[in-house]
Amino acid sequence: MADVIATIPKKLYRSGEVTGFTGISRQTLHYYNQIGLIQEAEKTQSGQRLYHEDVFIVIEKIKDYQRQKLTLVEIRDKLRTDAQLKFHFYDTAGNELR
């Protein structure tokens, strides 16, 4: 059953949708992607970035850590060791996505 659920495609969101729902700026979203805090799922043929729905969970975690006054490096380290978020940074074989 878990294998079946893992193969169901997740909904993809455009950058504007992600920023609209989360309240962060497009520049912040792209910066988080650039420094490895979040992962884009893919790019369209026209170059538009698309994100999996799990990006909303990650961004909320980032906001929580920022309220705790953690640096972006500290946040990145915490996100990568958070058992609930491993799916965002590692593939099913345990290889780091970025």
pTM for this prediction = 0.75
Domains of the chain: 2-89 (1.10.1660.10)
Sheet of 49-52, strand order: 12-14, 49-52, 42-43
Query: What tens-digit pLDDT sequence spans the chain (98 residues)?
Result: 444 344 445 688 999 999 999 999 999 999 998 888 888 878 889 999 999 888 998 999 999 999 999 999 999 888 888 766 665 555 444 555 55
Give me the helix-helix angle, 15-22 and 26-34, nearest 10°.
Answer: 110
